[in-house]
Amino acid sequence: MPKANETILEIDFKALKHNLEYIQSKLQKKTKTLAVVKAFAYGSDATEIALYLQNLSVDYFAVAYINEGIALRQAGVTKPILVLHPQAINFKELIGNCLEPSLYNAKIFNEFIEASSKENQTNYPVHIKFNTGLNRLGFSENDIDFLMSKLNKTTSIKVASIFSHLAASEDLNETKFTQNQIKSFNIISENFISKLDYKPMLHLCNTSGILNYPEAHFDMVRTGIGLYGFGNSEKENKHFKPIGTLKTVISQIHTINKGESVGYNRAYKSSDITKTATLPIGHADGIGRQYGNGKGFVIIHGQKAPIIGNVCMDMIMVNVTTIACKEGDEVIVFDPKSTAEHLAEQANTISYELITGISQRVKRVYLK
């Protein structure tokens, strides 16, 4: 790989393919795979990722919002796209781009029937979400009769799938809770399907559900974080390859005398002669202020350089007193070895927050 001479996010498609193949090695041949590419494919590049994956054995995509799905369609993604949290104001555009909505309460359900009827749709595919314990979005089992009463009066929509979302599938201390979610989903789906004259797909598992609860794979599984290289546990992380490497360079090196300060609010004051390096990356690029004052670090020539002082909008300063380095040298913020998960832990957060926060102004470089 070429050395960085600016701040870049390298995206490794070989690692992406490896992660998909590992996930699918856990599935029965008949089980479909839905790739979650919301939030710019977890901070990488949704269109590039989806275009690559649709040529592999991926059956569905999922995004959070309608505009994300429209961007994929405009880029040439042709496979089905589930919109997990659609807003009624954009239903016409959703239908015009052949996106498939998740319907999760009476309001959104009624509004979509009205919108699809106005657009003269017949059997438009929708996905009915049930709440089994996450308590975020979803119908309850008590809503089944309401749903059936509406479905029996319209031909504008047809249920493509019934699904729910696991709340703690990565936490084996919550196995009983997850098993109860699976049980609840089984009861709901059996009840719902018994009232239909066809069988929609069933899907429940996220990445950790795929790995920990094979009995709940059903007709399709949804994988997000696993595609991008994280298995949510030390045991599983060994089988995944993070696809992103965030790199930058040293812009300037300073020698700070004892008692001098660094950065805004004089948050760092040197207790001795200190060598610092200023890097062109900051909270506008996704490195939040919580990583400052020694909580976060970067890697320079294989050594950790702690972030000192407050993270600035466009820059951070790191302590390189014990590191032989010069202006223009490459700096690793995270990579497959010193991972985003390791860095996130320093600020008491998770890899999801760090990688999805990488700003769109950071240049993407694709390793295909």
User: In this predicted structure, what is the pLDDT of residue 276?
Assistant: 98
Residue labelled with tokens 């960085």: 4
78-108 confidence digits (pLDDT tens) = 999 999 999 999 999 999 999 999 999 999 9
pLDDT band at 8 (very low <50, low <70, confident <90, very high): very high
Residue 341 pLDDT exceeds 90: yes
CA distance 133 to 124: 28
Residue 132 pLDDT exceeds 80: yes
82: nearest Cα among 100, 68, 64: 100
User: Would residue 291 show up in a list of annotated catalytic residues for this protein?
Assistant: no
Q: Which domains does the chain have, with CATH numbers?
A: 31-228 (3.20.20.10), 244-367 (2.40.37.10)
Residue labelled with tokens 């069988």: 199
pLDDT band at 331 (very low <50, low <70, confident <90, very high): very high
CA distance 188 to 196: 13
User: In this predicted structure, what is the pLDDT of residue 3?
Assistant: 85
Query: With the CA atoms of 100, 205, 340 and 135 taken in that order, what torsion angle do they form, in degrees rounded to the nearest 10?
Result: 80
This prediction has a pTM of 0.95
19-33 confidence digits (pLDDT tens) = 999 999 999 999 999
40-49 confidence digits (pLDDT tens) = 999 999 999 9
Classify residue 4 by its DSSP letter.
P
C-alpha dist (Å) from residue 320 to 303, 314, 330, 349: 9, 19, 13, 25
Per-chain mean pLDDT for the chain: 97
From the candidates 79, 264, 275, 295, which is the catalytic residue?
Answer: 264
Residue 147 pLDDT exceeds 80: yes
User: Would residue 264 show up in a list of annotated catalytic residues for this protein?
Assistant: yes
From the candidates 38, 42, 104, 291, which is the catalytic residue?
Answer: 38
291: nearest Cα among 321, 254, 260, 316: 316
182: nearest Cα among 169, 200, 196: 169
Residue 186 pLDDT exceeds 80: yes
